[in-house]
Amino acid sequence: MKKELSELWKITEFRHLLVARVISNFGNGITPIALAFGVLSLPGADAGSLSYVTTAHMIPLVLFMLIGGVAADRFGRTHLVGLTDIIGSIFVAISAFAFISGHASIPLLCFNSFIFGILNALWYPAFSGIMPLIVPNPLLQAANSLVGIGANLGFTLGASVAGIVVSTAGPGWGLLIDAVTFLVAGVLVYRMKVPNSTPLGEGEKRESIFSQLREGWVEFSSRKWIVYVVASYSFFYLGFEGFLGVLAPVQIKEAMGGAKDMGIMMFGFGAGTIIGTVFALRLRPRRPLLLGLGGLPLAALWAFALAVPLPLWVLCITALGTGIGMDLMYANWITTLQTHVPDEALSRVSSYDAFGSMVFAPVGLFLAGPFTHLVGAPTALVTVGIIIALATSLPLLSKEVRQIERIDT
């Protein structure tokens, strides 16, 4: 293990990517809390208002995800990741100054969320394809886990200060911190020198976008284990995005201590993600998806606990377990993709992965607000918990998923 970490640290571009993720995710830990409680603090705003803002982000993220995979392969993965972060910092800053100046409104926040969703759609497939360009195959698991630890550490630190920043200085200042972190991280990644992450040759450029999408679909659909896991994730995120983006802030605002309690609970979640990636760094399971999928149903317990709601320390434990399960799965999933899918198709397959996984997330976010009005937050949380439990258990019925094996060379 020490040898792997030592070898990774010698790779300059890996160090830059790691630092960028820590910085960026510090801001990412602040924004969900700042935005949620900022929206709920606006005159006349309610759970439905929060649903509109979060859905405005998720719809373009899903719709443009497939284009993001093609764009990453055409224009260079590091340049696309860096540029989207830099542009994103501008729109986050606009939202921040709107809150600070007292001019924030639901239409403005929806517009900025929509633009940011497009940028995220371009970012994800490109980022997923960077690691194999800078790290040799035997070090991929360690590299993904180490970047995951750094990113989750940044997120946890951000979440730990978010409640304090929002409750004392206001949501605008929390968003402004996020804008700065995006700018710094974007510059770091954009300046990375990755020779293989360059635009495609002239012959490849003449190939139509639809042809590239079709090729990506063939690579994606020909692997049943990918299809089954992505289908499972689509229903997982149907429940989880609505839970984390709308139901949790509403329930905590109505039944608990508001932004501070949300920040403490999210600190527990972030700590869990760190532990999960540490486990992933040390574990080398022969069947990685069997291990990874085993922890995802813990997210259902978090929703059930918040429905009561149980004491804050219990919520933190369930959030911790969810973080462990999700990041243990993520590290094993991304490494399995990177080692089983050809590099030239990886960004396009990753875009289908992200598109399929998130396709129902806007539905969950959009319905979370009205459904809460109809049945109340506790019942809505129980419903979400049931959806998550079923969605995360079913893939394990597939032999293809259970038996996929790790590749080290």
Contact by Cβ (8 Å): 87, 190: no
Give the C-alpha separation, 221 to 204, whole Å: 22
CATH architecture of 2-193+202-403: Up-down Bundle (1.20)
The one-digit pLDDT tens for each residue of the chain (409 residues) are 677 778 888 888 999 999 999 999 999 999 989 999 999 899 988 888 999 999 999 999 888 877 776 777 677 888 899 999 999 999 999 999 999 999 999 999 999 999 999 999 888 878 878 888 888 878 887 888 788 889 889 988 998 898 889 989 999 999 999 999 999 999 999 998 876 544 444 444 556 667 777 877 888 888 888 999 999 999 999 999 999 989 999 999 888 888 889 989 999 998 998 898 888 777 777 888 888 888 888 999 999 999 999 999 999 999 999 999 998 888 888 888 888 887 777 777 877 888 899 889 999 999 998 999 899 999 999 999 999 999 998 888 888 888 787 776 5
Q: Which two tokens stand for residue 39?
A: 């929206």
Q: Which two tokens stand for residue 260?
A: 């501070």
Q: Which two tokens stand for residue 360?
A: 């129902």
DSSP secondary structure of 90-125: HHHHHHHHHHHHT---HHHHHHHHHHHHHHHHHHHH
Nearest by Cα to 49 from 393, 378, 392, 372: 372
Q: Which two tokens stand for residue 338?
A: 């990177």
Contact by Cβ (8 Å): 59, 187: no
The pTM (predicted TM-score) of the whole model is 0.79
Contact by Cβ (8 Å): 343, 77: no
